[in-house]
Chains A and B, each alone.
Chain A
């Protein structure tokens, strides 16, 4: 017989309350991606021409730079969650899995920061030829 109290016996054995986090984040970023990529596709279809100067001026506007940065963050978050599942499903060696997961994080964070910097530079310093 266990002489501990009932609460002592069950404490720490239940759900950590984080089980749904990955699932929910993937859905939320998916909804964000639907909105943001639709915005990008419609903007591109309505673009008068695709010269670098036109695109740079377009991208430098606050109303374009902000959704573009949001889209970069959202896409890369969603991709991180998705590729994480691929690694968990197909990489079974614990060491390789750790390495792949670290590489994945480097890839998405570095790429997102690069993309944000490109857009921010255009928005803050103006479109130069």
Chain B
């Protein structure tokens, strides 16, 4: 059956035409979920590793930051898995922060004009991207000697 592109689309995720305004809403929820699960557990792990002493902090660093020079392939793989989680949490943090600030602005009744709304939705994504890139560079230069 030939698809007529002029037909209206039923509102569901798979068939929506993606726009910054709708993407930011979904991302706000998804990143909030990531922060509330992976993010919060990582925060507690970091705090308890600091409280637990040098040895427990070394374990945290081995998993999350760098497996070290003499790491086996398996240890490196686990390290990269946690690094990816860290990247996801970092991006989620800035994305949720940016779209959260946008929500607070919308809550006072501002920024609903179509063009303004679209601009700030895109701006939130761009801000989150650059903030994440900055943290990646910071971590790479401070911890990994890049």
Contacts and interface: CB of A to CB of B under 8 A. Distances in A.
B50 A55 contact: yes
B138 interface: yes
Contacts of B29: 86
B36 A83 contact: yes
A118 B97 CA distance: 26
Contacts, number: 67
Interface in B63-120: 93, 97, 100-101, 103-104, 107
A interface secondary structure, majority: helix
Interface stretch (A3-11, A29-37, A92-100): A29-37
Interface residues of B, number: 28
Given A79-B36, A111-B44, A34 B51 contact: no
B50 A59 contact: yes
Interface in B33-61: 33, 35-36, 40-41, 43-44, 47-51, 53-54, 57-58
Given A82-B36, A115-B48, 7 more contacts: A27-B104, A27-B107, A34-B100, A56-B50, A79-B35, A86-B29, A115-B47
